[in-house]
Structure 1
Amino acid sequence: MHTQEEFATLAEPYRRELLAHCYRMMGSVHEAEDLVQETYLRAWRGFEKFEGRSSLRTWLYTIATNACLNERKQRNRRALPSGLGPAGGDPDAPPEAASGDVLWLQPIPDTMVTAGPGDPASIITSREQLRLALVASLQKLTPRQRAVYLLREVLEFPAANVATMLETSVAAVKSTLQRARAALTDLDTTHEKLTEHDAQDLLEQYMTAFEKADLAALERALRKDAALEMVGYSTWFSGLHTCLRYLARVLGSPGTWRMVAVQANGQPAAAAYLRGEDGSYDAFGLAVLTVTPGGISRIAVFGKQDLLPSFGTPSTLS
């Protein structure tokens, strides 16, 4: 009989990649963590019956994927504001709050899903597979399409393996993958990549501009077609002029904001802190940047204080 320690030794190395998989399936860090815990509990309970017909990794992915599919039956898809409707045209008007039944996509800290120093190529690949644009687009698929797309295109399991994992036929897997690809035709899979140094340089420009309330510096950092969306509101903006008009309203004076650099979804991000009346800085939320050689193309603002602890940042800065 296997001990719990033996099971942990064999299964624990897969935890981070299973968390990334469940996150891509669900669009929520908290739900992904719960489902990974459920996966390991189910796997431990059934470990004695595991006959080794597939690899342990494949078996764990089978359990995790089906746990996500069962959970997704009871959940609406998660979205970003840009997935709810067209861009807003009046940055001077108050943003419009979304209806209460909208579930929002959450960012995920790189530290939760990247295993630290290793093969640079594999680390870059894993980050690319977690980009906000990809995860948001995946939420538009049916749960079954999403599972097949991830297992085939991202994780590169053979079609026969995926058919076994989902208890279906190879023909059904191929048909579902074709429909998923067709639904993702607008997903940019050939975007220009920046070096780590250049990406961090753009992040530094963004953070410094906010801390100094320097709208001209923000203008230099943003692309002409930049977009800005604030999770929690259905309103979002597109185009440099419109984005800058909105940002001018929130910049305040120098010292209103402080920023801490982090990484989310394989992208540069800034934990934002807003100065209070007592001079301390309270956690406001997280800005995840999409960066290109031409500048910052998108800012996704997650105004949730409870997101920051998972990024290792404090709730207050003195």
Structure 2
Amino acid sequence: MAVLCRVRGRSSIRSWLYTIATNVCLTASKPRPIRMLPSGLTGPYAGPDRPPIPVAAAEVSWLEPLPDAWIAPPADDPAAVAVDRESLRLALIASLQHLTSGQRAILLLRDVLAFSAAETAQILGTTTAAVKSGLQRARARLDELELEPAELLEPTDQRARALLNGYIAAFERSDAGLLEQVLRSDATLEATPFRDWQAGRVTCIHILDAYVLGTPGEWRMLATTANGQPAAAVYRRDADGMLRADGVVVLTATATGVSHVVKFHDPALVATFGFADVLTH
């Protein structure tokens, strides 16, 4: 470590590592389209009743959830940066769809990882003035989206945990009635890799009840957190009776219920969150 410090002069190891990681990510993102959620593609589906139709993998580059454990510092590390969950939610849910790669990098480094403007400029190889201007434009864009983070509940809030438990119970019992107690009247539901998404509790519950819930015991969910929000690793019972990884679901919990549900249909994500591919009990 002493050698690395000498190599980087006055730069900290943390800043040096983020410089490398950020530049790699920015380079990798140049030839790729912006990652999206279904709601970033079109309005809510209002056509004939039918199951959601998946989009070909080549058509859309989908957003993925981020385990909180990858960003939140250990509680016993006094030197670690305290991550603001509100900033994390905004950066990982909305900004990745609506900001340029440069604005995303600035927002993450400044508002999520708490680097100073000067440190961010050094990491990105630009000026402090450019960082301040980029952050201002990023925040202005988020304001245009009319996000209301103040009403969101922390994942550790007992009300948020109760909502997550209720959502899990609804699936594990195949009980659409439980969703009535969990979802807000204006709730929205979307899932990758499906283009269609639904708005309104009645419509959301209908889609889930008609095409997703299945029979009691078909689903199993294990609570976790993602993007600063309550979430669950999702398992589905296959034809052999095995509970196999199916993906991750993330809930937006508010004091009046769940306002937004995003299901990421990717079995590999379950391992990303530290869970087994198959449940044995």
Instruction: Identify whether the pair has TM-score above 0.5, normalized to the shorter chain.
Output: yes
In 2, the alpha carbon distance for the partners of 1:153 and 1:144 equals: 14
Quick check: 1:76 aligned with 2:22? no
Shift of the 124–267 alpha-carbon distance from structure 1 to 2, 3 Å rule, reads: farther
- Contact 1:89-1:242 at 8 Å conserved across structures: no
In 1, the alpha carbon distance for the partners of 2:77 and 2:255 equals: 24
- 1:126 CA displacement: 4.3
Residue correspondence of structure 1 range 143-162 to structure 2 within 5 A: 143-162=101-120
TM-score w.r.t. length of structure 1: 0.76
Structure 2 residues without counterparts, runs of 5 or longer: none
Matched to 2:258, the amino acid is I
- Contact 2:166-2:178 at 8 Å conserved across structures: yes
Quick check: 1:288 aligned with 2:246? no
SS of equivalent to 2:149: coil
In 2, the alpha carbon distance for the partners of 1:233 and 1:85 equals: 12
2:264 to 284, 302, 318: 302
- 1:164 CA displacement: 3.4
Matched to 2:126, the amino acid is T
SS of equivalent to 1:234: coil
Equivalence for 2:142: 184
1:230 to 175, 186, 191: 191
In 1, the alpha carbon distance for the partners of 2:252 and 2:48 equals: 21
Higher helix share: 1
- Contact 2:152-2:253 at 8 Å conserved across structures: no
Structure 1 residues without counterparts, runs of 5 or longer: 1-6, 11-43
In 2, the alpha carbon distance for the partners of 1:243 and 1:102 equals: 23
Identity of aligned residues (%): 45
Quick check: 1:55 aligned with 2:16? no
- Contact 1:80-1:104 at 8 Å conserved across structures: yes
- 1:91 CA displacement: 7.3
In 2, the alpha carbon distance for the partners of 1:196 and 1:189 equals: 15
Deviations 1:197-224 (A, max 9, x none): 2221111111111111111111111111
- Contact 1:285-1:303 at 8 Å conserved across structures: yes
- 1:119 CA displacement: 8.1
- 1:196 CA displacement: 2.6
Shift of the 89–59 alpha-carbon distance from structure 1 to 2, 3 Å rule, reads: same
- 1:227 CA displacement: 0.8
Count of matched residue pairs: 273
Shift of the 124–296 alpha-carbon distance from structure 1 to 2, 3 Å rule, reads: farther
In 2, the alpha carbon distance for the partners of 1:165 and 1:78 equals: 23
In 2, the alpha carbon distance for the partners of 1:156 and 1:279 equals: 47
Shift of the 91–266 alpha-carbon distance from structure 1 to 2, 3 Å rule, reads: farther
- 1:86 CA displacement: 0.8
Deviations 1:140-165 (A, max 9, x none): 21111222223333334333333333
Residue correspondence of structure 1 range 1-318 to structure 2 within 5 A: 7=1, 49-52=7-10, 54-90=11-47, 92-99=49-56, 100-118=58-76, 125-131=83-89, 133-139=90-96, 140-185=98-143, 186=145, 187-194=147-154, 195-249=156-210, 250-318=212-280
Deviations 1:85-108 (A, max 9, x none): 111124722323324231111112
Deviation above 4 Å: which 4+ runs of structure 1? none
Matched to 1:228, the amino acid is L
- 1:262 CA displacement: 2.1
Shift of the 137–215 alpha-carbon distance from structure 1 to 2, 3 Å rule, reads: same
In 1, the alpha carbon distance for the partners of 2:82 and 2:178 equals: 29
Matched to 1:163, the amino acid is A
- 1:60 CA displacement: 2.8
Matched to 1:251, the amino acid is L
Shift of the 91–60 alpha-carbon distance from structure 1 to 2, 3 Å rule, reads: farther
- Contact 1:91-1:242 at 8 Å conserved across structures: no
Shift of the 161–275 alpha-carbon distance from structure 1 to 2, 3 Å rule, reads: closer
SS of equivalent to 1:104: coil
In 1, the alpha carbon distance for the partners of 2:279 and 2:82 equals: 31
Deviations 1:225-244 (A, max 9, x none): 11111110111111101101
- Contact 1:91-1:246 at 8 Å conserved across structures: no
- Contact 1:128-1:266 at 8 Å conserved across structures: yes
Shift of the 125–251 alpha-carbon distance from structure 1 to 2, 3 Å rule, reads: same
TM-score w.r.t. length of structure 2: 0.85
- Contact 1:268-1:290 at 8 Å conserved across structures: yes
